Structure 1
Amino acid sequence: MLTLVWPWMLALAPLPWLYRRWRKALPGQSAALFAPAFAGIGDTEASGSSFKQQPWNWLLLSLLWLSLVLGASRPQWVGEAVALPTSGRDLLLAVDISGSMEEADMPVGERLANRLSVVKTVVGEFVQRRQGDRLGLILFGSNAYLQTPLTFDRKTVATLLNEALIGFAGEQTAIGDAISEERRV
């Protein structure tokens, strides 16, 4: 269901029309509404002709204004409530992305793969099976970084794990920093 958080913003929609209508002075009088910043709007020429000669310019500006007002009213799509599991485990995964993970010494089929690609495959499958658990991801090398806080969003955890690069957190292995980071979370 589509709802507007600030529906009262739609009351601003007729403002340009009101301005255009009231800014013109009656014969022998000054302008009813004087706004120096907008004084040239009605007289502006676009591509060699005025807005009065090309009504599509006024239509385009009107559509732009209505889009702005509609966006300012904050439309939101509210769907059915998603039930989050009330029980489950909180799991923080610490993954080494130091320089040593580049070593291609893990047999996969008939070839050798680097350690990080094997970890990504195994941990990726593990993450997809953990329904109902909150997962987090810490990447460490010379330093440890919280990549994803505890979340039910398994897809994001898997995506950020797959985007991890060797050496991104430094070339050395500081597993103690990763453990300290896990305790902090």
Structure 2
Amino acid sequence: MITFLWPLAFLLLPLPFVLRRFLKPADKGLGGALKVPFFANLSRDLGSRADRVSTSWWKLAAASLVWLLMVSALARPAYVGPDVPLPAKGRDIMMAIDLSGSMASQDFAVGGRPATRLDVVKDAADAFIDARKGDRIGLVLFSDRAYLQAPLTFDRQVVRNLLDQAEVGLTGQETAIGDAIAVSLKRLKDRPAEGRVLVLLTDGANNTGEMDPIRAAELAKKLGIRIYTIGVGGGPMAVDTPMGRQMVNPSSDLDEGALRKIAELTGGQYFRATDVKGLAEDYRSIDKLEPVGADPVHVRPEVALYFWPAGLALLVAALSVLVGTAPALIKNRSFIKGPAHKEA
């Protein structure tokens, strides 16, 4: 809606009438210092014209309209939008996603069809990111090495798009968990102490990289950064083999002990996801452990409109002066051109 931020300015509306009523009129007998040969005639014509026009209704209406517009501009008209809730406090959350070769394993099922671990992770992480309104989200992808894919940002849609574009093997085939933690800590360490979180997801064990995962977790503990770890992969299942029906464990490479210790050291929690529902539930659990600020701040965006009445006042004033002086100036154009010379 449109409102006036300084409505008391309208108390100035009767000011011109008060001044005209109580102040002494200006002395019209004062002369100028500039001598112009034809000034007397021009002054007489302009003066008589001004006297007649000053009593006309349109000049009074124009002056009143100009004053009304100027006071309206001073009252600061503005368009005020609806309330927009903003979270009072937000968290800084880095997400580290494993892209090693084993993430292409199809031991998950979506709609009765096999799905790779990475596809299921993308869907679950996408829902988690979408729910973190008001938080800064960053993305680290890792396998042989860890790479910062998205710095901490409020633009959750960009992070979701970058995660959706990730492919298995994009950064190699091995698993550098320690390096992923180190790269994430580098982005989190300079943020405010409250609300710094790392969510690390992997389906294997640390088998490459420069940083040991436990050493990286100890550094996170010193910095006060919580790490939530998620181990993904199907559980033991019976499959038919040439040797008969046997039990296999597609997640035999998963180092649950190390992931659990990383989480415990930093005050986080370890989750195990063996199916789609379990993975989605793990992300919802993290969402509850690190809730978005519950008390939002409501703001109402404002768009200033004062320049509209101010500009219109200037236009009306200019037109009023032009209409009032143009006839006299046209009538006295001979004075501007100069006197005519008679032929001998």
**What aligned pairs does 1:48-63 form with structure 2 within 5 A after superposition?**
none
Aligned to 1:38: none
1:111 CA displacement: 1.4
Corresponding residue for residue 154 of structure 1: 156
Residue 106 of structure 2 corresponds to 104
TM-score normalised to the size of structure 1?
Answer: 0.54
Following superposition, the deviation at residue 83 of structure 1 comes to 9.0
Structure 2: how far apart are the matches of 1:140 and 1:173? 7
Question: Which residue type is aligned with residue 128 of structure 2?
Answer: F
Question: Aligned partners of 1:164 and 1:152: how far apart in 2?
Answer: 20
**In structure 2, how many angstroms separate the alpha carbons of the residues matched to 1:140 and 1:129?**
24
The question of 1:175 aligning with 2:177 is answered: yes
Paired residue for 1:74? none
RMSD: 1.8
Residue 91 of structure 2 aligns with an amino acid whose one-letter code is R
> CA shift at 1:175, angstroms?
1.0
Letter in 1 for 2:157: K
1:134 aligned onto 2:148: no
Displaced runs of 4+ in structure 1, greater than 3 A? 82-86
Deviations 1:113-155 (A, max 9, x none): 0000000000011111110100000000100001000000000
Q: Report the AA paired with residue 131 of structure 2.
A: R
Q: Distance in 2 between matches of 1:175 and 1:165?
A: 18
Give the equivalent residue in structure 2 for 1:5.
Answer: none
Unpaired runs of 5+ residues, structure 1, are 1-79
Q: Work out the CA distance in 2 between the residues paired with 1:183 and 1:159.
A: 23
* TM-score normalised by structure 2 residue count: 0.29
Structure 2 CA distance for aligned equivalents of residues 152 and 86 of structure 1: 14
Distance (Å, rounded) in 2 between the aligned partners of 1:138 and 1:85? 25
Task: Quote the residue 1:125 is aligned against.
Answer: 127
Structure 1 Cα separation of the partners of residues 85 and 183 of structure 2: 30
Partner of residue 53, structure 1 = none
Q: Deviations over 1:20-64 (max 9, x none)?
A: xxxxxxxxxxxxxxxxxxxxxxxxxxxxxxxxxxxxxxxxxxxxx
Give the gaps of 5 or more residues in structure 2: 1-80, 188-344
Higher gyration radius (CA):
2
Partner of 1:66: none
- Distance, in Å, in 2 between the alignment partners of 1:86 and 1:152 is 14
Partner residue, 1:36 = none
Match of 1:89 in 2: 91
AA aligned opposite 1:103: S
Q: Distance in 2 between matches of 1:86 and 1:147?
A: 27
User: What SS does the aligned partner of 1:92 have?
Assistant: strand
Amino acid paired to 2:126: G
Partner of 1:70: none
- Inter-partner Cα distance in structure 1 for 2:144 and 2:114: 26
**1:161 partner SS:** helix
| Alpha-carbon distance in structure 1 between the residues aligned to 2:141 and 2:88 | 27
Percent identity, aligned pairs only, is: 51
Which has the larger helix fraction? 2
Partner of 1:113: 115
Structure 1 residue 86 displacement after superposition: 5.1
In structure 1, what is the equivalent of residue 147 of structure 2? 145
Distance 1:127 1:166 in 2: 20
5 Å matches for 1:11-22?
none
Amino acid corresponding to residue 111 of structure 1 in structure 2:
R
